[in-house]
Structure 1
């Protein structure tokens, strides 16, 4: 029996041959009648050049929070495998594909965020909220986005087996095959290169694209990935458990005040800012920052410091063994982006409370359930292992992908409060040992929180890095970046394990820094 992808590939080379004027308005409208397996085309309409509104889900995806200018293109929207689920709800994978008149021959799959359930505008914006780089659609890419197989940013889908599988990885293959077939029909030719780009859950999906579909993609941009999502979820439960005992009247946001975290941030800067040769509010030498938080004893109340130490040390079982990794000390701990996940505000509860903890029980435990009160973290880690086995994008053996020339550009905020920078560096070390060091590069962004934000050089362009690497064969050793919070300044974000070191001259110039690998 042919797979969904194999069937679509055959259609793409035979029955889906497009009309002579493949990029005409008529050719776009004709796609509404195309016959694809288990797929309904609901919209196929030409779009003039103009302005697309900001991505309403940019906080989840890292997509552009600004309007985007795009050229004329063909918009196709549809649904794959429309069905009634085991729970009686309606399911299927909704997608949006935008194909520009001025096509550059490339295809980009745009990742989602959170637990998906929405379709972000398929524009291929760089998934760091601070990035001003040109989105992929405006560069001439055909771009597809999807909802992961369920409708609505809620956890109502988790009782359905196929919905779990689609969110975990299966939808990536199905949408890829459908999008490539539509591209072949419209342009009368297959893409020259196929890329995936996303942040958060979209970063996990990008890693899944390389790990589960190594024949389909030539490169992926991976941002702050939830690649070890089942254990990161357990880590979020741990954080809440440490904070609630010190939260006045159960108000999590008040457990650590902005003044508390600013004090911590200032102490980290005092100890580590100068390690890169320049005191500028950025701990660029994050790998050398051996911060002793006991220096805060007497500055913070003991109960607050003890809770913070437990959080930063990472979740542990009753024997003291880690179940999720710890976190680097970074001045970004004082930023709004860090607080948004772990603490929240009086107006907006912590993302851990509204997303992470509920998802731990509903998505990763079998059957879906609530996380027990006062959990045993060893038991909880075991309870999420089965789903984590197919949901986590933590495979390190990517030889097929690498042998075909597949590349991976990863960026990660050092101050990410939900997915630890230490965890992705661990994966990177293991993956380069198991697969080789010529397929992936990791860029840890000092000060950056989750998919942008923080006192960070968060305006960068990893897609151009991937394009250049694919074309030249030369791996990038640095990613030029600027800082919205520090106007006029530029600095390189260096390929791990190297970090930026100030060499003298104009501190605002990228030329005043060199990438140096610290002694281990």
Structure 2
């Protein structure tokens, strides 16, 4: 029996027809409303002196413009291609003093406004705990190929209401928490659109928001809270359950600590050599499931049924030497991949799929460093009400010694001063109910690395299944998820991780062309956007693969080069 709403639609349409046209039957059900197509953006130009924009924008509400300057063509580049001349505007919104810690706060931002503007606005949602106004290029996960600024968008980037020097101590300020969670987007959006109107003589015709990791979370939260403000939502590796994921990662660290050979080095619980051993075992069991033995596991779902850690990886009979795993290691790894649970056995975060990308270097960081250095401060200071005192806070001790049930309570806690829990201000309300977004013609494009070790692709698929169930059994007419086999968190791993997801999203929103496949390439030697050192040497340096909309899988067509996307079909 088919096991997902889209697979059930595929069966109804006929598998052969589905392979030819993913959208053929997507809107045929009487349960699916007619979705309007939004009109294309119309370009405009700005011919004035960039330096005068400080005066033009001086009266923006709750805003102080700090600088405006010309950026010459070629000063920035992406994928070896120069970015055109544009104006750079910087400023702050809602400057204030925190009532609890006495610290200065503001929502810092920069906007980059092209001379030749394509009529579109892109809100660049940034990652981690924010705190930095990174260069407003409109970049996204994966290897650099293009970005929104390069394509002529007006782009905004912000620090989400605090400075990097305040990470994670900004969690002491109740308003800074809310700005970080969702309110900075709500405050910056109307300001940016009004600034664009003043500069170009019209507001943006089409608006997009996107990012990866916490940036993907921002975009998904915006889809739920600000569905009227954006026409396209570009959602990469979304940490939309970030507080739960952070607690799950700490729980995993506590499990790994029980098998670490060096108590001061958590990575000795599951070393790079041992992770490579498991990655190869996954390949041995699953590589051919998509019709090609090529170092990539495309059929992720089938692989989880085919691979068994206990059976397929040797169990050590003596000392660990990289050729085996101890029975204790296998028990811990199995539990971590199955998903975090409370002490009573209730699962509160998703499982993680086995994938050859487990060998990627980023996996070790997220599994063994982040729980002690990043998740500890996030849970203890930003998500807990009231927060821990940042002075003298010991992240490793907090993570390794706090019971998981207590951590779980922290992310749901409130107090007189901290009136919203982390699960309120950090996550999208009713994420599986997006009819407002759908009915106005907006679209959501999601991509997620299968080997992501911090935000599980299984959690994203579980959300998408729920979204489909709540929208007539098929959400593919307004939202699609693209899994990236082998890719870690946002990029990297033995993967084809260089792709353009902005162009297909714009085509979907403004032309009604739904993305049936997105071509992705490896970043091997000579790649102008930077080399991914984890691309296997036996691959062509520019190997390409189609990324397929879930639940479809890139399968070898039976002939043609294994390094060419044209040899693969989504079915």
Q: Same fold (TM over 0.5)?
A: yes
Q: Closer, same or farther in 2 for the Cα pair 1:21/1:396, shift >3 Å?
A: closer
Match of 1:242 among 245, 255, 260: 255
Question: Which position in structure 1 is the counterpart of 2:337?
Answer: 312
In 2 relative to 1, CA 21–144 (structure 1 residues): closer, same or farther, beyond 3 Å? Answer: closer
Helix, strand or coil at the partner of 1:116: coil
State TM-score, norm by structure 1. 0.88
**SS across alignment from 2:82:** strand
Two-structure CA RMSD over aligned residues (Å): 1.9
Counterparts of 1:401 and 1:511, CA distance in 2: 34
Q: Which of 380, 386, 390 is the aligned partner of 2:407?
A: 380
Whether 1:434 and 2:489 are equivalent positions in the alignment is no
Q: Distance in 2 between matches of 1:376 and 1:504?
A: 52
> How many angstroms does 1:23 deviate by?
2.9
For residue 259 of structure 1, the aligned residue among 273, 286, 293 is 273
Q: Give the Å deviation of 1:245.
A: 2.1
Aligned to 2:366: 341
Aligned to 1:17: none
Aligned to 1:233: 246
Q: Which of 516, 532, 550 pairs up with 1:496?
A: 550
* Alpha-carbon distance between aligned partners in 2 of 1:223 and 1:285, rounded to the nearest angstrom: 20
Q: Is the CA contact 2:51–2:68 (under 8 Å) kept in the aligned structure 1?
A: no
- Larger mean CA deviation between 369-378 and 393-402 belongs to 369-378
Cα distance in 2 for residues equivalent to 1:119 and 1:382:
32
Aligned to 1:413: 449
Matched, 1:355 2:410: no
Q: Secondary structure at the match of 2:170?
A: helix
SS across alignment from 1:139: coil
**Whole-Å separation in 2 of the counterparts to 1:515 and 1:33:** 48
* 2:570 aligned residue: 515
Give the structure 1 partner of residue 155 of structure 2.
143
Q: Is 1:483 the equivalent of 2:496?
A: no
Once the two structures are TM-superposed, the CA of residue 297 in structure 1 deviates from its matched residue by 4.7
Counterpart of 1:95 in 2: which secondary structure? strand
Name the structure 1 match of 2:328: 303
- Partner SS state of residue 77, structure 1: strand
- Preserved contact between residue 28 and residue 186 of structure 1 (Cα < 8 Å): no
- 2:491 matched residue in structure 1: 452
Residue 68 of structure 1, CA deviation: 6.5
- Aligned-residue offset at 1:351: 2.1
Helix, strand or coil at the partner of 1:246: coil
**Pairing 1:173–2:209 present:** no
Q: Distance in 2 between matches of 1:511 and 1:222?
A: 26
Q: Return the alpha-carbon distance in structure 1 between the equivalents of residues 387 and 81 of structure 2.
A: 39
The structure-2 alpha-carbon separation of the partners of 1:160 and 1:68, relative to structure 1 and needing over 3 Å to count, comes to: farther
| Partners of 1:250 and 1:488 in 2: CA distance | 40
> Which deviates more, 309-318 or 169-178?
309-318
Taking structure 1 as reference, are residues 26 and 264 closer, same or farther at Cα in structure 2, changes over 3 Å only? Answer: closer
Is 1:72 matched up with 2:99?
Answer: no
Are the aligned partners of 1:317 and 1:376 in contact in 2 as well (CA < 8 Å)?
A: no
Q: Which residue of 1 aligns with 2:20?
A: none
Distance in 2 (CA, whole Å) between partners of 1:509 and 1:411 is 21
Extract unaligned runs of 5+ from structure 1.
1-19, 54-63, 344-349
Alignment partners' CA distance in 2, 1:31 and 1:104? 24
Aligned residue runs from structure 1 range 251-290, under 5 A: 251-289=265-303, 290=305
Q: CA deviation at 1:22?
A: 4.8
Tell me if structure 1 keeps the 8 A contact 2:168–2:378: yes
**Shift in Å at residue 471 of structure 1?**
2.4
Aligned pairs for 1:191-230 within 5 A: 191-230=204-243
Secondary structure of 1:408's match? strand
Cα drift, residue 27 of structure 1 = 7.2
SS of 1:169 mapped into structure 2:
helix
- Give the whole-Å Cα distance in 2 for the aligned partners of 1:488 and 1:213: 39
Provide the rounded CA distance (Å) in 1 between the counterparts of 2:57 and 2:223: 32
**Superposed CA offset, 1:302-356 (max 9, x none):** 222222112111111122110111100001111101112112xxxxxx1222112
How far is the alpha carbon of 1:47 from its aligned partner?
Answer: 2.2
Match of 1:57 in 2: none
Determine which of 30, 40, 44 is the counterpart of 2:68. 44
Q: 2:470 aligns to what SS in structure 1?
A: helix
Q: Tell me, what secondary structure is at the counterpart of 1:225?
A: coil
Counterpart among 313, 327, 332 of residue 352 in structure 2: 327
CA distance in 1, matches of 2:93, 2:350: 37
> Deviation digits for residues 410-438 of structure 1, max 9, x if unmatched?
00010000000100000111112224512
1:425 aligns with 2:450: no
| Equivalent pairs, count | 478
Contact 2:337 2:351 in 1 (8 A): yes
Contact 1:32 1:42 in 2 (8 A): no
Deviation at 1:373, TM superposition (A): 5.2
TM-score under structure 2 normalisation?
0.81
**Cα distance between partner residues in 1 of 2:104 and 2:56:** 22
Distance 1:357 1:235 in 2: 11
